[in-house]
Amino acid sequence: MVSILSNPLATPSQLLANQTEADGVPSSLSKSLLWAGSTLIQSAGILLRLPQTTIATAIVLLQRFYLVRSLRSSPLLDSVHAAVFLSSKLTEHPVKPRSLINVTTYLQHCPSPSPISPVSDNEQALQDPDSYFVSEHEYYAQRTRMLDTEAEMLKAFGFQSWCALPYTLVLNYAQALDCLDESLVRRAIAYLNDALMAPSLVFLTHQPHMLAVAALYLAARSEGESGGGSAKLPEGWWEVFDVEREELGFLVAVFEGAAKFVEEQTGRWKRRGGKGVPWDLEALEEELQFHG
């Protein structure tokens, strides 16, 4: 029985036994790679015109997957593909494997504001469509790996593919608090999208209602600061939604920290010049050797 409003959460032991780190990948690198994967999903999802629920589900699936699998055994790019593919099916917006692979290849080779592209400074690449052309051979190879990873994912989840998201709850809670206001909700949803990228994996450790409350809290606060004239929320309102002060405090810290983390990571990969995120195993091994 799955509740519509709650998720299966990561257990402390799962969080402690990080498979990737057990495999000798430094913690900072593994966090960074997971973030890069999430960013790639987010960007690809936008290009594929997927709704944010599909994108967010894909990111959560990717994070869940790497909770129990290692980056050194499951290549990041294939997992990204599989996560998007699976989530697109789960949320009834199926994408074609070909479109998906085209889009991620394009994103890896084209300058973009996000640092996932290794040649961001190279204007030549933009002119040259060949750089992101996926040959039939390459497509088949990637698709096979994607589908293998998809099956791996389903098995890793025990087919527990349900993923409850906090987006609609934000609307609900704002309505309940009588502060339903477009800019407020927009901001809250933006905070939630930030949190998807946070290294603390709050979507795996906290139920959607907590995330919704934290996002709403932050949104209301920043709206108030910016003088947006939003309604004053009653004292201790989060308790009505079953969130304790400490939890809220933690989540707020995570949500706020997400921006900083993303900036750090952007810088980290930007500085690399021509070298990009190690999407496949080979590149990852190289990266690991490079760092000793």
Could you give the dihedral angle defined by the CA atoms of residues 204, 207, 209 and 211, in that order, rounded to the nearest 10 degrees? -30
Residue 61 binds other proteins, judged by CB under 8 A: no
Could you give the dihedral angle defined by the CA atoms of residues 141, 145, 147 and 148, in that order, rounded to the nearest 10 degrees? 140
Residue type, 274: G
CA distance 164 to 7: 6
Q: Which is nearer to other proteins, 146 or 216 (CB)?
A: 146
Stretch that binds other proteins, among 70-78, 100-108, 121-129, 241-249 (CB under 8 A): 70-78
Residue 47 binds other proteins, judged by CB under 8 A: no
Residue 194 binds other proteins, judged by CB under 8 A: no
CA distance 167 to 164: 9
Residue type, 250: F
CA distance 234 to 145: 52
Stretch that binds other proteins, among 34-42, 86-94, 107-115, 234-242 (CB under 8 A): 86-94
Residue selected from 9, 141, 151, 253 as contacting other proteins according to rule CB under 8 A? 151
Residue type, 61: L
CB of 82 to other proteins, least distance (A): 8
Q: Which positions from 4 to 43 touch other proteins by CB under 8 A, shown as an x/- string?
A: x--------------x--xxxx------------------
CB of 70 to other proteins, least distance (A): 5
CB of 230 to other proteins, least distance (A): 31
CB of 9 to other proteins, least distance (A): 16
- Reference 168, options 159, 180, 154, 155; nearest CA is 180
CA distance 226 to 231: 13
CA distance 231 to 217: 12
Residue selected from 147, 177, 190, 231 as contacting other proteins according to rule CB under 8 A? 147
Summarize as ranges the residues that interact with other proteins (CB under 8 A): 1-2, 4, 19, 22-25, 68-70, 72-73, 85-86, 89-90, 92, 94, 97, 143-144, 146-148, 150-152, 154-162, 281-282, 285-286, 288-289, 292
